[in-house]
C-alpha cells in the first residue's frame, strides 16, 4: 500500500457564511441532534450512502435553469436540436450526481495522534484517509476532497489514491481538553454542478497546554539556607531510581545490560540509574508572579519545561493539586496537564508549603 502526501490549499477565511449566521439556534441544535443519531462519533468511519448528502451547487442551479429554458424554447419553436441539447445537458447533470457520490463513497477516516499543542497556536489534527481499492479499476481515485472543522480554515486534497494524511487546522485553541467536533468532508468534483458532503466525528480529544511564557524560576524547599536553588533536586549517578537506557560501553557489568531490548534486536543497551542530590524542590502557582491567572499558568508551564530540559527533580503545587517530585517526560506531561486543566475554585493560600501539603498525587 502506497502512501501519498496531500496537496493542500487552505482558505483564508474561517468565518461562518451569511446563511449560517441567519439560521436560528434552535434549528441548529435540532440538526446537531439528528446528526448525532445518524452519524455517531466513531474512531473509524467509512462513508456510504447513509452518510453522504448531495445538493446542486450555485452553478448547478444555473445549469438546471438553462436546461429548463432550452427545453421551453425547443418545444415552443418545435426545434428538435434545442430539445436534444437540453436533454444532453440534463444527462450531464445526472452523471455528475453519480460521480459526486462515487468520489466520496468508500473513503475511510482515522484520527492520528496529534502533536503537542499550546494555547493560542494553530493546532493541526492529522487525519488518515484511505480510499477504496478496486481490482478491476485500479486507477480509481478520490479528488478535490475538502476537510474542515466548524468555522475553521479548510484543507484540500487535490488528488489521492489509496492513502493520504491531511492536517486539518484548528486555530487558536484554549488550554484544557479540546474536542474539535465534526469534520465537514465536501467535494464539488467533477464539474462543480453538485456539492457532495458529509460530517465525520472521529471522537477526537486532545490536551492543549498553557502557552509558555519565559520568567524567573522560583523554587522552594523545606529548608532555608544560602545554597543555590539549583543545587536541590539534581540527579547524580546511583542505584536508586531507574533513569533510562543508554548505549552499552564495553567492559561494563553485564548486570546493567537491558536484555529485553537486546532480545528485540535493538542492540546492546545499558540500564542507567540515578538518585537525587540534595533536598527536593517545588514549583508553586502561589509563588509565580503574573498580572492574572492565565499569565501565572503560562509562566509556570515555561518553568516546567525548563526544569525538565535540565533533568531536575521537582514537584508541583497547583492549588489543591500536588504532584510529587520526579523528573522525565512523563512527569513533564503530568505537570503540563495539571496546569492546562487548572480551574481557580478559590483563592490561593500563599502560606501553603510543601511541609503542609497532603501529597497523594503521583506523576504518571
Cα R_g (the chain), whole angstroms = 30
Greater model confidence, 277 or 360 = 277
Q: Is the pTM of this model over 0.75?
A: no
- Confidence band for 230, pLDDT divided at 50, 70 and 90: very low
Give the residue with greater pLDDT, 1 vs 99: 99
Top pLDDT among 150 and 16 is at 150
Instruction: Say what the pLDDT of residue 143 is.
Output: 86
Length of the chain: 364
Of residues 320 and 354, which shows the higher confidence score? 320
The model's pLDDT over 160-183, given as tens digits with 9 standing for 90+, comes to 767 888 889 998 888 999 989 899
Of all residues in the chain, the percent with pLDDT exceeding 70 is 73
**pLDDT given at position 363:** 36
DSSP SS3 for 210: coil
Q: What is the pLDDT of residue 55?
A: 93
* Range with the largest mean pLDDT of 198-212, 233-247, 273-287, 331-345: 198-212
Confidence of residue 81 (pLDDT cuts 50, 70, 90): very high
pLDDT at 70: 94
**DSSP, residue by residue, 1-14:** ---EEPP----S--
Strand 4-5 to 163-170 pairing: parallel
Strands 176-178 and 194-200: unpaired
- In angstroms, the CA 268 to CA 246 distance is 9
Q: Look over the chain and give the mean of its residue pLDDT values, rounded to a whole number.
A: 78
Phi, psi of 348 (to 5 degrees): -90, 130
pLDDT at 225: 42
β-strand partners of 125: 168
Q: Locate the domains of the chain by residue range.
A: 4-207, 210-233+278-364, 244-276
Question: Is the bond preceding 200 in cis, omega lying within 30 degrees of 0?
Answer: no
Q: How far is CA 102 from the centre of its chain?
A: 28
Whether 237 shows a pLDDT value over 70: the answer reads no
Which segment of 4-13, 18-27, 121-130 scores lowest on mean pLDDT? Answer: 4-13
User: Per the structure block, which three cell numbers stand in for 216?
Assistant: 524567573
More confident residue, 62 or 290: 62
Is pLDDT at 295 greater than 70 in this prediction?
yes
How far apart CA 334 and CA 316 sit, in angstroms, is 10
Q: What is the Cβ-side half-sphere exposure of residue 361, based on CA atoms within 13 angstroms? A: 16
Amino acid at each position: 500500500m502506497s502512501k501519498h502526501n496531500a496537496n493542500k490549499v487552505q482558505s483564508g477565511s474561517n468565518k461562518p457564511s451569511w446563511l449560517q449566521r441567519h439560521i436560528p439556534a434552535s434549528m441548529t441544535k435540532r440538526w446537531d441532534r439528528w446528526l448525532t443519531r445518524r452519524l455517531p462519533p466513531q474512531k473509524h468511519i467509512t462513508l456510504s450512502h447513509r452518510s453522504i448528502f448531495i445538493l446542486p451547487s450555485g452553478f448547478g442551479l444555473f445549469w438546471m435553469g438553462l436546461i429548463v429554458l432550452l427545453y421551453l424554447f425547443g418545444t415552443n419553436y418545435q426545434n428538435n436540436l434545442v430539445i436534444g441539447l437540453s436533454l444532453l445537458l440534463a444527462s450531464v447533470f445526472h452523471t455528475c450526481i453519480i460521480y459526486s457520490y462515487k468520489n466520496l463513497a468508500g473513503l475511510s477516516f482515522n484520527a492520528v495522534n496529534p502533536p503537542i499543542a499550546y494555547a493560542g497556536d494553530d493546532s493541526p489534527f492529522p487525519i488518515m484517509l484511505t480510499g477504496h481499492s478496486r481490482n478491476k479499476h485500479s486507477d480509481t481515485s478520490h479528488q478535490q476532497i475538502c476537510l474542515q472543522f466548524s468555522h475553521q480554515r479548510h484543507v484540500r486534497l487535490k488528488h489521492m489514491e489509496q492513502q493520504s494524511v491531511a492536517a486539518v487546522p484548528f486555530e487558536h485553541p484554549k488550554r484544557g481538553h479540546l474536542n474539535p467536533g465534526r469534520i465537514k468532508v465536501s467535494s464539488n468534483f467533477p464539474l462543480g454542478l453538485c456539492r457532495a458532503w458529509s460530517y465525520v466525528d472521529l471522537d477526537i480529544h486532545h490536551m492543549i497546554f498553557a502557552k509558555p511564557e519565559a520568567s524567573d524560576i522560583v523554587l522552594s524547599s523545606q529548608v532555608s539556607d544560602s545554597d543555590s536553588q539549583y543545587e536541590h533536586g539534581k540527579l547524580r549517578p546511583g542505584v536508586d531510581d531507574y533513569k533510562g537506557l543508554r548505549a552499552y560501553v564495553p567492559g561494563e557489568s553485564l548486570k546493567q545490560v537491558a536484555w529485553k531490548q537486546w532480545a528485540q534486536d535493538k542492540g546492546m543497551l545499558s540500564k542507567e540509574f540515578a538518585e537525587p542530590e540534595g533536598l527536593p524542590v517545588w514549583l508553586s502557582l502561589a509563588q509565580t508572579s503574573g498580572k492574572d491567572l492565565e499569565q501565572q499558568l503560562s509562566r509556570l508551564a515555561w518553568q516546567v519545561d525548563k526544569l525538565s530540559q535540565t533533568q531536575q527533580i521537582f514537584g508541583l503545587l497547583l492549588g489543591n493539586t500536588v504532584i510529587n517530585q520526579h523528573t522525565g517526560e512523563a512527569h513533564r506531561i503530568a505537570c503540563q496537564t495539571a496546569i492546562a486543566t487548572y480551574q481557580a475554585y478559590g483563592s490561593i493560600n500563599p502560606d501553603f508549603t510543601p511541609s503542609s501539603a497532603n501529597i497523594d498525587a503521583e506523576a504518571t
